[in-house]
Chain A
Amino acid sequence: MTVTTTTSPPPGLVVAPRLPDLMAAPKIRRGAIGFLRNHPTVAIGGALLLVLVIIGVFAPFLFTVDPTAIAPAKRTRLPSADFWFGTDALGRDIYSRVLYGTRVSLTVGLAVALGASLIGLTIGLVAGFVRWADGVLMRCMDGLMSIPPILLAVALMALTRGSVGNVILAITIAEIPRVARLVRGVVLSLREQPYVDGAVASGTRTPMVILRHILPNTTAPMLVQATYICASAMITEAILSFIGAGTPPTIPSWGNIMAEGRALWQVKPYIVFFPAAFLSVTVLAVNLVGDGLRDALDPRMAKSP
């Protein structure tokens, strides 16, 4: 609130000096643009991700060649005008392979985040609401959690054939317990909220209580958790591919490229460098979005419109 005085005060009346601008209410920006300006980390991370998505989608049109074409005569070339990122031990163009590898990472990250969130949400809601199911479900989740996610994914991959679908499945199973635990915790605290009791007293049936009062208030922490799962899934996929338990070698993924460049690391470090740089930037971008969303969705940080 600002008070402006146009008339001079009557004599003898002391008027408080104008408050410095520091005390002025913060300027509130509305809409999507305003949101991004208020939360620059989301904007930066989002922009980076957008670029990566464009790279993944339009990989064939970005001056790439067939990423699996072997050219023994052009092995291990240094980065140059012809081969922007150089070539690997089989003479394949690393620039093309890295760009196509974006597809695998983004697909795995997104699919795992989505799958683990939805399944974890369901398990968490049931555990939070059905008392007898709580013990059984959460002990199963504890059991899954006691195995390190990468080991679990490796074990699951050992049971099946290497394919992107199986990689997604294996990482999703390993990530579900984290979401389930989070959602259960949120549900248990929301159930104690007076407005939930108020809704029950107003005759709202349980499914509607969940849908109207519980679910909308779990989305914010879920969304933040989903971004972290997305980032961790991308890293897990790269690790699985790196140790040869993930994406099959016929499909270029960042983990594969790094695995193939490992033997030549000391003489041709660029083979590992480029996919690693892309992986780092992607994970950074996702984490930036996650951090920004966590701050933006925290009700204590919220600015009233």
Chain B
Amino acid sequence: MTQQPLIQVKNLDLYFGAFHALKNVSVDFNAGELIGLVGDNGAGKTTLIRVLCGIHAPSKGEVFFDGKKVEKFHPKLAIDQGIETIQQSVGLCDNLSIARNFYLGREPVKRIFGIPFLDFAKMREKSSRVIRQFGLRENVSADDEVERLSGGERQSVKIGRAVEFKNRVVIMDEPTNHLSVREREHVNELAVQLKEQGLLVIYITHDIFQVHKLADRIVIMENGEKVADASTDSMSAEALEDVIRQGGRVVEKEAV
């Protein structure tokens, strides 16, 4: 490979107490690539991307971003580097409004005598405009609390936020969960568009057939280990599915 990988993971190990969650994982992620990260529940896909987005620090091994070794792991640092993540189980605070969630951690401010005050007009206007593209109903206001939203609408807030702040990397953990067929297609198209704009897109799913159509490369994880890493041109979805089967388990079809 001539091009330097945007994110390089080298011999990564992660323990949660005695539990060995990631075992000597090495993967290269390139800019302008859409990578499907596939595996069963508990295979370690979410754990791996939680290292990339700074939530977990690895126990052993190294991560390089843009050729530089990552020394400190914190979501703030990852976000500042341009890594946006659509997390599956975290990311929204139920007690806050849509607009406040959208800008959490990077609130736009107007300074009066140097004191930062929230720019409510911008927060409301921009967040609702962006999220409407991803299935937020017209009668939901940006001031409504996230608690009131349906599963799909919650997902649309996370996706809208990632797209708005997209920078260099977008990681999507089961992005189409809770979405309708039409919204799902929209998200998948979007993943391809982001890639075509030169971003690195990491797409996590159970459904190898769905992601095989979109991805340039598929990485399969099993029991905390990487068991396959192949371009979608070189291996068919069926062949990759066999790899997972040989791991001793069967990939579940994503629930609709």
B partners with A? no
